Structure 1
Amino acid sequence: MSDLQGNLKKAEAYLARFKRDGVLNQIGGEAVPALDGATFETLSPVDLKPLASVARGGAADIDRAAKAAKAAFPAWAAMPGEARKKLLHKIADAIEARAEEIAFVECMDTGQALKFMAKAALRGAENFRFFADRAPEARDGETLRTTGQVNMTTRVPIGPVGIITPWNTPFMLSTWKIAPALAAGCTVVHKPAEFSPLTARLLVEIAEEAGLPKGVWNLVNGLGEDAGKALTEHPDIRAIGFVGENRTGSMIMKQGAGTLKRVHFELGGKNPVIVFADADLDSAANAVVAGIFAATGQSCVAGSRLLVERSVKDEFLARLKRKAEAIRIGDPQDPATEMGPLATLRQRDWIEKVVAESVAGGGTLVTGGTRPAGSGFYYAPTIIDAGASDLPCVREELFGPVLSVLAFDTEAQALALANDTPFGLASGVFTSNLARAHRMARDIRAGVVWVNTYRVVSPLVPFGGYGLS
């Protein structure tokens, strides 16, 4: 049996366990149901079949988890940084050893392709290693000298923190928020998205099997309006890390205001990718296609707005059309699949509505706009020649495989179109003109500006944005 087949078998056994026993919360090191016994069912977007019954935590479960995190905090915060580093590296080792198994589970939970999920699982291990190496210096401060004085500063872990993660790439994004919290000496209460709860359960089990003390990391499943709200309002939770849409971020900020919580948000984007006529068009086309259609477009940094210089627009669109129509859509667990289904029916319905409105409003459908045959929340790679920047496909964050296209004639016009959005998360610039690349990188209002590449994220680099991002 190959390693691939063996890991598939492990994943199938794990999914069978979930189907048999349900997905429980993890509080104080113990797997527990919701205190009131409530559950909800999670479906696979691949075949629409039930995956598991999931504990539906509420305010009482959040309170129990917050108290467990608070009780575990003093010992965890006092642990030497070198010891935390060693333990977090053990967690990273375990993630790496089970990356393919994790990827298979995430395929069924989210619908995203194995080739993408396998890389995301390995990135999860990389996140733990990166932050583990910073644990020994997490409390370092500074010595500040003034006349007749020596002033010393130090840093201390803030306390228990709440982590709320989304349904797209949930495993990797969970590690991105939880690993730095643990490295700093904070304890955690994690509420994953209700649409993709399986790998969050797998991740906390991996951590505790690696030796993480009980109560340092607690998991409560549930819905945003009850478990999420209770977490953001709980007085023992000192900060919230959230990845998701801007409207939810706004609600979390309001809910946390009563206890003056710190917040760390990574929200949405309507990210422009600008292609000038002097760019390497083959390389740019590959990057544009990967930037919007990888992960079925369900990524905050998806390059969903293409701005292309008018003189090469027709040629460039022809390249994109060929590449989009060649994407292999199918079972995400098949290693040959390049694009799986969307994660939810609600998401597909929303995308279909916006595409229809955009075409009715004057946009031209270059390719896609259809559902492939068969069950599952599948939607074809779609390109719309928008023509006007006020169409909904240009304005709205669709979070799906839809690329809107606008033409420009001058650098100034390209910049104006790029910044014509309330978002400001990521962007890309393709040009052979180095001076122009620097000008655009300086003036585009986005937290990340990639030049002649797209969607390459290093843990060394800050990741933030402007406006609603």
Structure 2
Amino acid sequence: MLDKNLEVLQQFLPQLKERGIKNLINGKTVEAISGKTFENTTPIDGNFITRVAESDKEDIDTAAQAAMDAFTEWKAMPHKNRRDILYAIAEKIEEHADEIAVLESYDTGQPIRFMKKAAIRGAANFKYFADKAIDAQNGLSTPDTHHANYTIRQPIGPVGIITPWNTPFMLSTWKIAPALAAGCTVVHKPAEFSPVTANRLAELAHEAGLPKGVWNVVHGFGETAGKSLTEHEYIKAVAFIGETTTGSHIIKQGAPTLKRVHLELGGQNPIIVFNDADVDRALDAAIFMKYSLNGERCTSSSRLLLQKDIYPDFVEKLKKRVARIKVGHPLDPETEIGPMIHPTHQEKVLSYGKIGKNEGATLAVGGGKPDGLEKGCYVNPTLFIDASKDMRIAQEEVFGPFLTVIPFETEDEAIKIANAVKYGLTAYIWTKDVGRAHRIAHLVEAGMVWINSQNVRHLPTPFGGVKYSGIGRDGGEYSFDFYMETKNISIALGDHDIPKLGIEY
């Protein structure tokens, strides 16, 4: 299967190297106005992939103007037509899922076993919001004695979408599909570390019949292209997935234009396992939620809280399983962990191995680079045990295959440990005690809680965090709350009293 995936890669890699990755603005592929480019390489071995347009303010201006010009027609398009286009985009994604998965895996280092599923999930996002487009404008009826009141939702306008380098294809669809369904037009700025599939997705959308200017892609760096996008007066809202510090900058940059922001940021998420839990299932979930997708996921369960009665046996099983996780070439279907996205990120993850040992935690597995994979950005699956809640490895987001285990005795102690971080994205609770499960779900500081389960995404439900993990919610009607404005319309039912001024008495 590795050879087959390499064959698929070779179908696209030569032309990708030759033509480079340019911007896609108003339906046309164009270079950055300055002519500048930057180099994109694969984290597998550092080999050159292609050159990418390095855009700045002038390119964002052009894209924002295209999105503004296209907005009037797109928002006025009949809902059924908009739905049909979104369905056609989904079908295009499904048709090219293997190609997308291979390109994404090569560009990001994510194992192909997960990327094929991610591509199909991207298609599912478009199908789901295609159906939602029909009633996206629906509101409420709030009658009064003398007036009929009803609300409608209307698209907010052109929006900026800034996506990260971990599973970029799927996460782009997560933001762009509801924006288009709502009637918004889009300027998309992909992460500079993972530019390859962003253009392919937008190209497929145009092949599916999307009008020009509705979806624009501008490549570049956050400090230039990203900053210009968040500041642009034509852009009415910015949806961002990424690091917490960048999210705070976006709030500041959007403030002068009173821009609406939706921020999905970092996490240091707890998985809490009580002594009455189904230990084997909890073990499977803990390992999957930390070490899948290279550990580069905001919802990963980075802190494993184990009740002391089960701590020794659980840790022994955990050590054996983590030591057997297969690190290798991401296009090999047998690979469970591929390389980190970039050498700078590899060094960051490796540095936390030294930090954990210096803090006094016990390094049980991993902590360095795997043998035989020196050319790439690889990191061994790492497991620290006997940690405490105040250690940096339990406080800071490592964003890699790095798990920290902390013991606890009581329910109250578990809640204190879980809440002792600045983040609040997700929490995972394992117990057979129904009352306890609900108590902790209410008390833990997180936007999402899964009980006796790993992260299973259901599109109608709200997705988002609290504290330093973000602002706003994705999913179902919650997405439309962000991409649309609510308008109230009030109609008098008869001759109600109107106060009179300036009359003769």
Question: Which bracket does the TM-score occupy, shorter chain normalised?
Answer: over 0.9
- Residue 439 of structure 1 corresponds to 439
State which of 107, 110, 113 in structure 1 corresponds to 2:108.
Answer: 110
Residue identity matched to 1:382 = T
Q: Deviations over 1:140-176 (max 9, x none)?
A: 2222210111122211101100000000000000000
1:447-458 to structure 2, matched below 5 A, reads 447-458=447-458
Matched, 1:326 2:324: yes
1:273-352 to structure 2, matched below 5 A, reads 273-352=271-350
Question: Are the counterparts in 2 of residues 386 and 394 from structure 1 also a CA contact under 8 Å?
Answer: no
Say which one has the larger Rg. 2
Sequence identity, in percent?
A: 49
- Residue 132 of structure 1 corresponds to 130
State which of 171, 181, 184 in structure 2 corresponds to 1:183.
Answer: 181
Question: Are the counterparts in 2 of residues 114 and 335 from structure 1 also a CA contact under 8 Å?
Answer: yes
**Which secondary structure state, in structure 2, belongs to the residue aligned with residue 156 of structure 1?**
strand
Question: Are the counterparts in 1 of residues 8 and 102 from structure 2 also a CA contact under 8 Å?
Answer: no
- Residue 165 of structure 2 corresponds to 167
**Which secondary structure state, in structure 1, belongs to the residue aligned with residue 161 of structure 2?**
strand
Matched, 1:459 2:472: no
Shift of 1:458: 1.2
Q: Which has the higher contact order (CA 8 A, sep 6+)?
A: 2
Shift of 1:15: 2.3
- Residue 416 of structure 1 corresponds to 416
Shift of 1:108: 0.6
Question: Are the counterparts in 1 of residues 299 and 426 from structure 2 also a CA contact under 8 Å?
Answer: yes
Structure 1 gap ranges (5+): none
Question: Are the counterparts in 2 of residues 11 and 102 from structure 1 also a CA contact under 8 Å?
Answer: no
Question: Are the counterparts in 1 of residues 5 and 331 from structure 2 also a CA contact under 8 Å?
Answer: no
- Residue 155 of structure 2 corresponds to 157
Counterparts of 1:445 and 1:360, CA distance in 2: 29
Shift of 1:13: 2.1
State which of 239, 243, 255 in structure 2 corresponds to 1:241.
Answer: 239
Residue identity matched to 2:204 = I
Counterparts of 2:217 and 2:12, CA distance in 1: 18
Counterparts of 1:385 and 1:326, CA distance in 2: 17
Counterparts of 2:407 and 2:5, CA distance in 1: 46
State which of 97, 100, 103 in structure 2 corresponds to 1:99.
Answer: 97
Shift of 1:32: 0.4
State which of 69, 77, 84 in structure 1 corresponds to 2:82.
Answer: 84
- Residue 47 of structure 2 corresponds to 49
Structure 2 gap ranges (5+): 470-505
Residue identity matched to 1:300 = C
- Residue 123 of structure 1 corresponds to 121
- Residue 400 of structure 2 corresponds to 400
Q: Over aligned residues, Cα RMSD in angstroms? A: 1.2
TM-score, length basis structure 1: 0.98
Shift of 1:111: 0.1
TM-score, length basis structure 2: 0.91
Counterparts of 1:117 and 1:461, CA distance in 2: 23
Residue identity matched to 2:311 = K
Shift of 1:465: 1.3
Q: Deviations over 1:333-360 (max 9, x none)?
A: 0111111011011111112222201211
Shift of 1:385: 1.2
- Residue 271 of structure 1 corresponds to 269
Counterparts of 2:271 and 2:340, CA distance in 1: 23
- Residue 477 of structure 2 corresponds to none
Shift of 1:227: 0.1
Q: Deviations over 1:417-466 (max 9, x none)?
A: 11111100011011111111111111111111111111211111101111
**Which secondary structure state, in structure 2, belongs to the residue aligned with residue 126 of structure 1?**
helix
